[in-house]
Structure 1
Amino acid sequence: MQIQSHPLPSEKMMFQLNLRRRGISDQAVLKAMEDVPRELFVSPADHDYAYRDTALGIDCGQTISQPFVVAYMTEQLQVRPEHRVLEIGTGSGYQAAILSKLSREVVTIERFRTLADRARKVLARLGSANVEVVLGDGLDLPETLGTFDRIMVTAAMEEVPQALLNRLEPGGMLIAPVGPLQSSQMLKRFQRSGEDYPSQELVAVRFVPTLPGVAREL
């Protein structure tokens, strides 16, 4: 059976309608979700499921989050066109592509070379010139990366390291799934206020764990 290379118009309509029904209201986020072709970021075997509201497996034992979670996290991060954004956990590159439509610059960190290389190619194909994919350890960032207005962590952390919070600009926001790595976590949003980082609990989620170091294989 031949896999469809493009979604049916009805699938894209239901995709957008589902996001709106579930409470996504930021028009810039909805437009970004509409404009980025999700089918390019899933495995060929899953092309027919690209616009269903479900997480899908990708290489290296990782996942591409369900569309609602991508849209919700993006909306809650309150990204603006002047912002410099850091993403920890590139995965397929889909979230970075969404963020690239909303911000000035995106730096995305991936520990698996296979995923970093593939994401780089797909993002280049889309013309996402404001995204830099870095092979590295999201828990040990080079000082040369500097600071960010917004940080999104797309893998679970038992707690957010202070060193990562310190990468926020004054008034900057960080969003991350925080809690036990082998069960559900709480999506939390932190905002820098001077040297304080008050947080807000948003919604229960389940993500693959954040792991230290660069993967030796894959």
Structure 2
Amino acid sequence: MEDARRRYVDLIRADGVELSPALAGAFAAVPREIFVPDGFHRRDGRRVVPADRDYLPAVYSNDVLVTKMDGEVPVSSSSQPSLMAAMIEALAVRPGMRILEIGAGTGYNAALLATLGASVTTMDVQPDVAARARSALARAGIAGVRVETADGYTGGPAEHYDRIIVTVGVAGISPHWLDRLDPGGRIIVPVEHAGTHPVLDVRPGLLSARVVCAAGFMTAAGPLTARHRRSHPPAAAALEGLTQTAPPRWRPPLDARAYRDLWYAAGAWHPRSSHASIAGRESSYLAILDDTGAAGAVVLADGAILASGGSADRYSAVGSALADRWWALNRPPMAAWRVGLSLAGDPDAPIWAPSSWDLDPLPPRAPGLTEPPPSEDETEDETMPENEAMPRSDTMPEGAAPPKDDRDELAQ
């Protein structure tokens, strides 16, 4: 078991997370299997139970473990460990801190935080999920965690915290969380952007945020998922009738990380950005969707554009312009974006949602990709289709997940 947990920590590091010694020690010390005692579903849908030979290898893989289903829809899980690690590192936990967690899940994430010396209150709206988390924490001998059953929007008991971490996808920040946060605190939270939920590091006061990493989470319920005027279209099912409308731009194609960066930029620049699948392919892709959500344009990793529907040319031009703009700006990574927040949603249950996106200055373009070839479909801002013009890069308001990306997974 000790060897399995050591390999487990190595797998998390191999995914690009710079683990501190303290957090590496927590992952090595907390027995993940105690938090999935009845088994789980793997990403491919296969059920794994403790009697199976691959149970422990699966538990100590760098993968999401789905622990509760509503029909075919996952509603609770133990998140991908590398994503948990990235979020906890961004939280900057110190011993003695008081932490509020929205979304108890299995209790494993709270156990890691407590092992780092924090005092944790974790909340879940599902009573059975909260009860199982409470039981698992007791079996694991984890002290310093209180499990509450409550709607995360409320922020739970009227107490104050040094940090708040959210492990469900939301449309924005509850004002109650800001009320619970002490000065100098931060909120690590996955917020909707172009069909998925990249993680933001929110600093109250200025009400601004930085992007931590890409992620895909199960969505919360109630006011936390309210649609608002800056909301992107939901992810689309497989688009039919796609034809290539623009040739490849880049050689070699973008890798998964760069493709996520393009997707994030597209979402910052265009309100119809989301992601969609393509019939016959397992991956999902950056998409610019029409008003029906069933047609539009898809941008592939090599920069080629596929489009469908009665406005195929229009959305193809938009996709081309977004891709070319991202390239011309030196391919900004997600971490280069600063996000402004403003009140949105139901006036009786408002949220602070992303409303502006600004880019930090970037260093010169890194080598490794050839310049995009001239394209007949290349479209400058001033000639973009009517009602589709992109605002300037310093005032703009998200795309698709790359194939089976290691950060596209379910909520804790």
Matched-pair contact (CA < 8 Å) for 1:24–1:30:
no
Structure 1 CA distance, aligned partners of 2:118 and 2:108?
17
Q: Which residue does 2:65 correspond to in 1?
A: 56
- Please identify which structure carries the higher helix content: 1
- What displacement does 1:165 show? 2.3
**Count of paired positions:** 202
Matched-pair contact (CA < 8 Å) for 2:103–2:167:
yes
Residue 217 of structure 2, aligned match among 192, 200, 207:
207
Structure 1 CA distance, aligned partners of 2:4 and 2:31?
12
- What displacement does 1:212 show? 3.0
Q: Which residue does 2:191 correspond to in 1?
A: 178
Matched-pair contact (CA < 8 Å) for 1:55–1:66:
yes
1:153 matches 2:166: yes
- Structure having the higher Rg: 2
Matched-pair contact (CA < 8 Å) for 1:84–1:148:
yes
The amino acid of 1:82's aligned partner reads G
Long gaps (5+) in structure 2? 40-47, 50-54, 70-74, 224-412
- What displacement does 1:204 show? 1.2
Note the 1:1-218 alignment, pairs <5 A.
8-21=1-14, 22-42=16-36, 43-44=38-39, 45-46=48-49, 47-48=55-56, 49-60=58-69, 61-142=75-156, 144-180=157-193, 183-192=195-204, 195-212=205-222
Structure 1 CA distance, aligned partners of 2:84 and 2:173?
20
**Comparing 98-107 and 149-158, the one that deviates more:** 98-107
Matched-pair contact (CA < 8 Å) for 2:34–2:140:
no
Q: Which residue does 1:5 correspond to in 2?
A: none
Structure 2 CA distance, aligned partners of 1:171 and 1:9?
38
Structure 2 CA distance, aligned partners of 1:25 and 1:140?
32
Q: TM-score, normalised by structure 2?
A: 0.47
Matched-pair contact (CA < 8 Å) for 1:165–1:197:
no
Q: Deviations over 1:99-158 (max 9, x none)?
A: 11113310000111111111111111222221000011101134x431110000000011
Give the CA RMSD over aligned residues.
Answer: 1.8
SS of the equivalent of 1:99 reads helix
Q: TM-score, normalised by structure 1?
A: 0.86
Matched-pair contact (CA < 8 Å) for 1:179–1:185:
yes
Matched-pair contact (CA < 8 Å) for 2:102–2:122:
yes
- What displacement does 1:52 show? 0.8
- What displacement does 1:40 show? 1.2
Structure 1 CA distance, aligned partners of 2:119 and 2:135?
17
Structure 1 CA distance, aligned partners of 2:3 and 2:94?
30
- What displacement does 1:98 show? 0.5
Q: Deviations over 1:60-117 (max 9, x none)?
A: 5212101111111111100110200000000100101001111331000011111111
Matched-pair contact (CA < 8 Å) for 2:93–2:118:
no
Structure 2 CA distance, aligned partners of 1:41 and 1:177?
23
Structure 2 CA distance, aligned partners of 1:99 and 1:186?
21
SS of the equivalent of 2:222 reads coil
The amino acid of 1:57's aligned partner reads V
Long gaps (5+) in structure 1? 1-7, 214-218
- What displacement does 1:9 show? 4.2
SS of the equivalent of 1:29 reads helix
Matched-pair contact (CA < 8 Å) for 1:154–1:177:
yes
Matched-pair contact (CA < 8 Å) for 1:185–1:205:
yes
